[in-house]
Amino acid sequence: MKSLRVLTGITTSGTPHLGNYVGAIRPSVQASLRSEVQSFYFLADYHALIKVGEPERIQQSTLEIAATWLAAGLDPERVTFYRQSDIPEIPELTWFLTCMAGKGLLNRAHAYKAQLDKNLAAGADPDHDVSAGLFMYPVLMAADILMFKAHQVPVGRDQIQHIEMARDMAASFNHLYGPHLVLPEAAIEEQVATLPGLDGRKMSKSYDNTIALFGPTQTLRKQIASMVTDSRKPGEPKATEGSALFEIYRAFATAEETRALAQAYAHGIAWADAKQMLYERIEREVAPMRESYERLMADPGRIEDILRAGADKARRLSTPFMHELRQAVGLRRLGQSLKPAQAQTGGPKALLPGLKQYREEGKFYFKLVDGQGQLLLQSRAFDSPRAAGELVARLKQGDDSVLLEYAECLEPVSAPQALAQALQALREAAEAGPT
Ligand code: TRP
């Protein structure tokens, strides 16, 4: 059973390099293959607007990062893979959280404080180059996380503070409106490598020392040839310690291959030969992915379709959940009772929605219909009645992930209200005991 929800996003502001691949993309694709994990991966394009004012770059980066993730093996059937700006509930939740977040809390956020400190050091106005978007960055990020009830968010150390802030906002919301939001935790991957760049410093766009992940193979060869090494001659033993070349090799190689290179260093391998080994080793892992990357890049329409399908899936959760949150804060239909939940369960039985299990041509299904008999959810086919029955039970117990894994939502976006209400009524009835 997939009980742990893990969510992560990448800001669509640049072209993925080897450091991104080793530090973020490869481990997150590996994590998505764990059977107990339900993963959410998204392209943080609203976040990109905070620092990038070039529309073409945003679009291009979105395409490149999506293609990279897919080429690296992310399976959109298995995970929920979407674009932030396709989920209108995220900016809506951002506003709810904006009203929860203390300004003093946001004053301490790193991204904003870094700019502030820079301004102060330069003797400039403290607000110079600070958009309200930069200031609100952690709130948008909290909405990303809280919308999908993520338990864990794998991030680099620099992002831990943002996860803590998301927890704070969720706790304030829950305190005021009831336990609706799940408090997330940062998942720090200790053993994930930070890759050195061409000059030996951490590989980073801001140092201009990156190696593109999917550049042409000749570029990869040339970039590796240009790596900084010491001046030891062929035949002279070389130190692995502090060798960026060695570190990058290690990030791609098996333990055995790494030991072999260490031996070669000790035996005085020429730098040119070591570079050739590094090039070949990276190429071995990257070349097959580069092929699918190029195929994907040549077909942006296909990526668009994948992201749309991912957004549909994501919205099966976000639309009813946002409806629940709107009810919680008091954004309600005026005709409704002030306590809509109680009014519903107390209402006539005929109006209750129903979860029905049935059999058709040797397969087993379940469906959810509202009080008027309108079909809201239709499951896939199952081989055994037990498989369908277990999901029905989980759905009744409040496990929304069933909506993602096994059900096909009909009209998920046009009837979110009906779906949210039906689920709520169903769960309250389940809590009240068997009927
Ligand atoms: N801030 C993250 C970064 O710059 C990207 C991001 C946006 C994110 N929203 C998120 C990461 C939610 C994890 C969860 O890399």
**Is 198 part of a structural domain of the chain?**
no
Kindly report the number of other CB atoms within 10 A of residue 2's CB atom: 15
Residues whose beta carbon lies within 6 Å of some atom of ligand 1:
7-11, 44, 47, 141, 144-145, 153, 155, 159
Same domain, 22 and 163: yes
- Closest C-alpha to ligand 1, atom 13: 8
The pick from 162, 163, 164, 206 for probing ligand 1's pocket by mutation, whose C-beta has the most ligand atoms within 8 angstroms, reads 162
Instruction: Kindly give the number of the ligand 1 atom that is closest to the alpha carbon of 162.
Output: 1
pLDDT at residue number 344: 43
Residues 6+ apart with CB under 8 A from 37: 2, 4, 5, 6, 31
Q: Tokens representing 30?
A: 């590996």
Q: Which two tokens stand for residue 63?
A: 């395409």
The string of DSSP codes covering 364-412 is EEEEEE-TT--EEEEE--BSSHHHHHHHHHHHHTT-THHHHHTEEESST
Tokens 């990279």 locate to: 68
Residue 200 inside a domain? The answer is no
* Full pLDDT tens readout for the chain, 435 residues: 568 999 999 999 999 999 889 988 998 898 888 888 899 999 999 999 999 999 999 999 999 999 999 999 999 999 999 999 999 999 999 999 999 999 999 999 988 999 999 999 999 999 999 999 999 999 999 999 999 999 999 887 788 999 999 999 999 999 999 999 999 999 877 666 678 999 989 888 888 899 999 999 999 999 999 999 999 999 999 999 999 999 999 999 999 999 999 999 999 999 999 999 999 999 999 999 999 999 999 999 999 999 999 999 999 999 999 999 999 999 998 886 655 444 444 444 446 778 888 888 898 888 888 777 777 888 888 899 998 888 888 888 888 888 776 666 555 445 667 777 788 888 888 777 654
d(CA 315, CA 90): 10
Q: How many C-beta atoms surround the C-beta of residue 339 within 10 A?
A: 9
Cα(79)–Cα(37) distance, integer angstroms: 9
Taking alpha carbons only, the member of 100, 110, 117, 93 closest to residue 162 is: 110
The dihedral through the CA atoms of 318, 324, 326, 329 has a sign that is: negative
Which residue puts its alpha carbon closest to atom 15 of ligand 1?
10
CATH number (domain holding residue 305): 3.40.50.620
Q: How far is it, in rounded angstroms, from Cα 249 to Cα 195?
A: 10
Residue 269's nearest CA partner among 243, 233, 231 is 233
Say how many Å lie between the CA of residue 34 and the centre of ligand 1.
Answer: 21
Residue whose Cα lies nearest atom 8 of ligand 1: it is 9
Do 340 and 358 share a domain, yes or no? no
Same domain? For 309 and 409 the reply is no
Same domain, 75 and 188: yes
Q: Is residue 358 included in any domain, yes or no?
A: yes
CATH number of the CATH domain containing 250:
1.10.240.10
Q: Do 407 and 320 form a contact (C-beta atoms < 8 A)?
A: no
**Is residue 286 a part of any domain in this protein?**
yes
Q: To test the ligand 1 pocket, which listed residue (141, 194, 206) has its Cβ within 8 A of the most ligand atoms?
A: 141
Residue 29 placed within a domain: yes
For the chain, the domain total comes to: 3
180 and 209 fall within a common domain: no
Same domain, 245 and 282: yes
Q: What is the pTM of this model?
A: 0.83
326 C-alpha to ligand 1 centroid (Å) = 25
Q: Which of 8, 9, 10, 15 is nearest to 60 (CA)?
A: 15
Q: 371 and 247 in one domain? A: no
Q: Give whole-number Cα distances, 207 to 42, 270, 411, 424, in Å.
A: 26, 27, 48, 52
Closest alpha carbon to 274 in 228, 310, 315:
228
Torsion from C-alpha of 35, 306, 403, 333, nearest 10 degrees: 140
40 - beta bridge partners?
7, 80
Q: Which DSSP category does 12 fall into?
A: S
Task: State whether 32 and 150 are in the same domain.
Answer: yes
Pocket mutation for ligand 1, best pick of 144, 146, 161, 167 (most atoms within 8 Å of C-beta): 144
Range(s) of the domain holding residue 147: 4-193+299-345
Å from CA of 295 to ligand 1 middle: 27
Regarding whether 114 and 36 lie in a shared domain, the answer is yes
Tokens of 194: 């930070």
Beta bridge partners of 83: 43
Closest CA to 4 of 148, 147, 134: 148
One domain for residues 166 and 314: yes
**Same domain, yes or no, for 270 and 309?**
no
- Candidate of 8, 45, 52 to mutate for ligand 1, largest count of ligand atoms within 8 Å of Cβ: 8
Instruction: Take residue 138 and report the two structure tokens written for it.
Output: 């952690």
DSSP-derived letter for residue 410 is S
- The verdict on 54 and 187 lying in the same domain is yes
**Of the candidates 409, 325, 425, 322, which has an alpha carbon nearest to the alpha carbon of residue 372?**
425
* Residue where the block lists tokens 């077909």: 299
Instruction: Measure 309 CA to ligand 1 centroid, in angstroms.
Output: 21
Q: What distance in angstroms lies between residue 297's CA and the mean position of ligand 1's atoms?
A: 24
- On whether residue 410 sits in a domain, the answer given is yes
Handedness of CA 394, 397, 403, 405 (dihedral sign): negative
Specify if 162 maps to a domain. Answer: yes
CA 74 to centroid of ligand 1, rounded, Å: 18
Nearest to 166 by CA among 9, 311, 329: 9
CA 303 – ligand 1 centroid, Å: 21
199: in domain:
no
Q: Which residue's CA is the nearest one to ligand 1's atom 4? A: 11
Cβ(293)–Cβ(71) below 8 Å: yes
Instruction: Work out the angle at residue 368's Cα, subtended by the Cα atoms of residues 364 and 372, and round it to the nearest 5 degrees.
Output: 135
Terminal CA-to-CA distance of the chain, rounded, Å?
27
